Amino acid sequence: MEKTYLRSFALLGFCGAAVDFMVCGSMQPVFPRDRILHIFISVAAAFAVVYIIQNIDFSKGVIKQLTALAITARILTMTYSFTQYFHLFHGSNTLAILLCAVGAALLVYNMEQGRTLQLYSFFMAVNVVFVLLILLLCAGKLKVSNIYANDVSFSFSVSELFLFADLLTLAALIPKGKGRIYAQNRYIAFSALFILCTTLLQGLCVRGDLLYSISPLQSLFQIYSGNTIKRFDYFMAIIQTINYFGAVILYVLAMQKLFKPQRGCCCEKG
């Protein structure tokens, strides 16, 4: 049972990482090899952070208040980035997304954390479908020659590193011990594997510097929109909106854990 909780929290963290990866961009083209090497550096840094903070109790004193502020900032910045992306690429009013996010947050805040186990299967199914659809739609566009037409140079840039922002959220939600490390490591692994695979698909499907100033997910969705399935990228955005809600749920659970410890999760220190 404990590991099921931990995996569910790691999956909700992945939801946030998938949204972050969707909305990331750059003023300059970022090619596959460049991005892949940066994600390896990001993963190494993330694992280091996991072990640095493994024995910190985030539920007491000043650390608790600072953690709550950090999670609040994370919610606000992620919401701003996602709504800006949605409005830019789809020209849609984002008020409905914001209202639904607030409604979901209020619902989850008044829910016992034990019931969040029911959410695990839903978000898992959504993301499995998400990955399968990406692979299916890429199948007809894969060309090995494309990968050789891309720039293979590497130039390190801090701005190109991927921030695994929900390591702190998971640390606030899960008591210090092996359980926290288990969930954080899986959050990193799930997210990094998704980013690496998507980046490789982008390199095989998109030639040269076309659309490389936006994230691999964005560029793949742009080529999908030219398929006979009209505006398939919009359907994918709906899936990412579900992931956004998954991330919101994680942040609400973390705040609940900080300020309502008597209703905390069953993941005891271990």
pTM over 0.75: yes
Share of the chain above pLDDT 70, in %: 84
pLDDT for 27 equals 66
Closest CA to 113 of 214, 269, 270, 252: 252
pLDDT for 113 equals 58
Which structure tokens are listed for 72? 């609040």
Give bridge partners of residue 25 from the DSSP assignment.
214
Residue with tokens 């076309």: 210
pLDDT digits (tens, 9 = 90+) for 97-128: 888 888 878 777 776 656 666 677 889 999 99
pLDDT for 225 equals 66
Compute the distance between CA of residue 22 and CA of residue 85 in angstroms, rounded to an integer: 8
pLDDT digits (tens, 9 = 90+) for 34-80: 888 999 999 999 999 999 999 999 988 899 999 999 999 999 999 99
Compute the distance between CA of residue 58 and CA of residue 173 in angstroms, rounded to an integer: 9
More confident residue, 99 or 229: 99
pLDDT digits (tens, 9 = 90+) for 70-101: 999 999 999 999 888 888 777 767 777 888 88
- Based on its alpha-carbon atoms, the radius of gyration of the chain, rounded to whole angstroms, reads 19
Give bridge partners of residue 211 from the DSSP assignment.
none
Q: pLDDT category, 264, cuts 50, 70, 90?
A: very low
pLDDT digits (tens, 9 = 90+) for 190-201: 999 999 999 899
Compute the distance between CA of residue 241 and CA of residue 83 in angstroms, rounded to an integer: 10
pLDDT for 228 equals 54
238-255 mean pLDDT? 90
